Structure 1
Amino acid sequence: MANLNPYLSFRDNAREAMEFYQSVLGGDLDVSTFSQFPDMVQDESEQDLVMHAQLTTPDGLVLMASDTPSSMPYEAPRGFSVSLSGTSSDTTRAVWDKLSNGATVTMPLDLAPWGGLFGMLVDRFGVSWILNGDPE
């Protein structure tokens, strides 16, 4: 079975971001650092950065991330959004309330013309999110 999952890149705060997403979405978070793979460490000061993190929620959603070492070019996220859809209104509101902490709201969470709830924001880590809850 194939999977299509968001894989987010950060400069040095992937662990903080993924722990935040775990507090928002729940689930199990597995984190591997560069120090766990000695051949991957190019700068000793970066050995505790995240080489790979995976959050798997009870609903089977998977979000992955890593830190970009200073030896590699990095650009902040732009031109895409992580979309969470198909959730109940209660779940959508709960996720929105947590995710919007420190975020820039680009479209407030409200009833959508097509039914359900819809809102857009850029979280405190610079990641754009779209939430689309199912109509009740």
Structure 2
Amino acid sequence: MASQLNPYLAFDGNARQAMEFYQEVLGGTLELGTYGDFGSAEMPDPDKIMHATLSTEAGFTVMAWDVPERVPFDPGTNVALYLGGDDARLREYFEKLSAGGTVAMPLAKQIWGDEAGTLVDRFRITWMCNIRQPS
């Protein structure tokens, strides 16, 4: 298998809800493993997510976990997820992801010729979207 690089999002107890929301928006298969599933006795709440992976038909892979108390947690300030391409579904993803969140920059034509926008979803994750325009 070739090497890969995927976003891995940290949450403070709501990783399951966030990943289920992303699955609703992006589709795909969601795998969830709790601390209890992995036999971790160190967690006071064995139902928290130790590892989650969302794999979509479009080729997106998003991973997540609920951060244990011993790990510093500063949500939404150090990661952004990027959706890019020429697929018309990107507009739909942008709209659905913005539900309950904040659109920082609405989708609009930019100086480089593409349509782009940025939002912070209801889980405080930043999403950047760039829709390539035909030349």
For the 8 Å contact 1:92–1:117, the answer to whether it is kept is no
User: Equivalent residue for 1:53?
Assistant: 52
Identity %: 42
Q: Please state whether the residue corresponding to 1:41 is helix, strand or coil.
A: coil
Q: Which segments of 5 or more consecutive residues in structure 1 lack a partner in the other structure?
A: none
User: Equivalent residue for 2:81?
Assistant: 82
Distance 2:106 2:55 in 1: 27
CA distance 1:86–1:20, shift in 2 (3 Å):
same
CA distance 1:24–1:65, shift in 2 (3 Å):
same
User: Equivalent residue for 2:42?
Assistant: 42
Distance 1:87 1:70 in 2: 41
User: Equivalent residue for 1:91?
Assistant: 89
For the 8 Å contact 2:35–2:43, the answer to whether it is kept is no
User: Equivalent residue for 2:19?
Assistant: 18
TM-score under structure 1 normalisation?
Answer: 0.91
State the Cα deviation string for residues 25-83 of structure 1 (Å, max 9, x = none): 11000000011121x23134x10000000000102110000001234332212133111
> How many residue pairs align between the two structures?
133
CA distance 1:87–1:54, shift in 2 (3 Å):
farther
User: Equivalent residue for 1:118?
Assistant: 116
> What is the identity, as a one-letter code, of the residue corresponding to 1:43?
M
TM-score under structure 2 normalisation?
Answer: 0.92
Q: Please state whether the residue corresponding to 2:6 is helix, strand or coil.
A: coil
Larger mean Cα displacement after TM superposition, 46-55 or 67-76:
67-76
Q: Aligned pair 1:66/2:65, yes or no? A: yes
Cα-Cα RMSD: 1.3
